[in-house]
Each structure stands twice: as structure tokens, then as C-alpha cells.
Amino acid sequence: MTSAIILKSASELALMEEANQIVAQTLCMLREHIAPGITTLHLDQLAEKFARKNNATPAFKGYRGFPGSLCVSVNEQVVHGIPSRKVMLKEGDILSIDFGVKYKGYYGDAAITVPVGTIASQAEDLLQVTRESLYEAIEQVKIGNRIADISQAVQDYVEQRGYSVVRQFVGHGIGQQLHEPPEIPNYRRSGRSPKLLAGMVLAIEPMVNAGAHDVKILGDGWTVVTIDRSLSAHFEHSVAVTENGPFILSHGL
């Protein structure tokens, strides 16, 4: 990670929109394939093929040694689940899919959580609240606001509805690197946070648990799960700060 927040030009934002549209189209395609009996490795292969067909490189594959193109996290898995031919989706599961690409030197990154068949009403509510908290956060992406305004919006929306936000993992800036400053927590931290300036691009990604916020990493070194094994949901958009307010680069999800 570089130490300074990098502001993007209009031409850079146009390239980042292209990158993020490949991500959004991939996730929309995957949503159509999610059904009981499908393996998470199959979804991973579909995503990689689609990205490469669109002249993009999967961003996560090989990143710090991650073995897959997709992060696929089932039920109590929060993030960074590894695609596997052994993991077969079942009716009633929820599946969080996080995907990123590199395209013409710039990164795109987004995530959705999808029901597998018919899911319990409590799980449906968790997905809805998590997704809505992302849009509450995006409404705060205005010049002159601070990162803390984004964080506060997620935390307030989620906690008022009886859920908890994950604290060990955060959103991030994005551009020519997958992870750039600033960090974007989904809860308000003490101290002053960076002010939002035109040209900043933020990957905002609420991770919300049905139970407590505590999580741990499994023995594979990647998969993050809720300690109490409660369900977890994850939604993410890459969003540019502009003179006209937030611009969702990964629009269409």
C-alpha cells in the first residue's frame, strides 16, 4: 500500500468504470448460475473465463497467494472463502461472492450475497439490510464529508436493525492497486478520518453478521467465519467521489 490517497482524473475514472463493469457483468452472470448442486469451483471457473474473454485479469488469483479468482463464502463464512470442487451449494444457503479484475492497468472490485434457492426469512432480512447499508454509505460519498461519515452510516443502519458489523476487515481505496488508502471501516473509529475529495475511488463493503461481530480465520489461512457461526452477508461497490456526488463505477448489480 502506498501511503497517500491517490486522486483519479476523468480519463482514469472512465477506465475504472470499464474495469468495474466487467466485474458487475461477471457477478450478474454468476447470479444466474447459482443453484443447489453447483460447486463454488464451477462458479470460479465461469468468472475467470468471462473476465479473460473481456480482456481482463482476475485480480484475486495469486494475490498474496490466494488460489482462486473468486472469493466464495457460504453461510457463516464472512469473506475470502476459497473456491472448491468439494463445496456444493445447497437449498437455503446464502453465498457471498467477491470479485475483482485488472483491466488496462486499473482495478475493479465488487461483491454481492445471493440466496441459493429459497432461504429463511431471517436470512432474507440479513441480505436486505446489508445491501441497504451499502447504499446508505454511498449517500455519504460527497465532497467535504469524511470517511467516518461512510462508516457511521453503515454502523447505524445495521445496528439499529439488530445486526453487527465486522470490524477486522474494512473497505479500501482502489485504482492502479487493488488496495490503496484510505481504509474504510464499517464502524466509526475514534480520531479524525480523511476528508473526501473529488477523484477519490472507494471500495465500500459492509460485512454484516446476524450474531456477534467477532470473526476468525480458519486453518486454510484465508476463510473468515463468524465465531458464533451466525450467518454473514457482504455487499460491495467501487464508488468515485465527484463534483456531482457519488458515482457507482460497478453500477448494474
C-alpha–C-alpha distance, residues 250 and 89, integer Å: 26
Peptide bond into 182 cis (omega under 30): yes
For position 3, what pLDDT does the model report? Answer: 73
**Gap between the Cα atoms of 31 and 38, Å rounded:** 12
**CA-closest candidate to residue 247, choices 2, 6, 10:** 10
Residues 6 or more apart whose CB falls under 8 angstroms from that of 15 comprise 103, 104, 105, 106
| pTM, two decimal places | 0.97
DSSP 3-state of 224:
strand
For 127, the enclosing helix (H) or strand (E) is helix 121-138
- Would you state the pLDDT for residue 1? 41
Q: pLDDT 10s digit of each residue in the chain, 253 long?
A: 447 999 999 999 999 999 999 999 999 999 999 999 999 999 999 999 999 999 999 999 999 999 999 999 999 999 999 999 999 999 999 999 999 999 999 999 999 999 999 999 999 999 999 999 999 999 999 999 999 999 999 999 999 999 999 999 999 999 999 999 999 999 999 999 999 999 999 999 999 999 999 999 999 999 999 999 999 999 999 999 999 999 999 999 9
Q: Is the dihedral of CA 185, 188, 193, 199 positive or negative?
A: positive
What CATH code would you report for 10-248? Answer: 3.90.230.10
Cα 18 to Cα 22, 31, 38, 49, 119, distances in angstroms: 7, 20, 29, 17, 33
Give dist(CA 82, CA 69) in Å, integer.
9
Domain limits, the chain: 10-248
Q: 75 — alpha (psi -120 to 50), left (phi > 0) or beta?
A: left
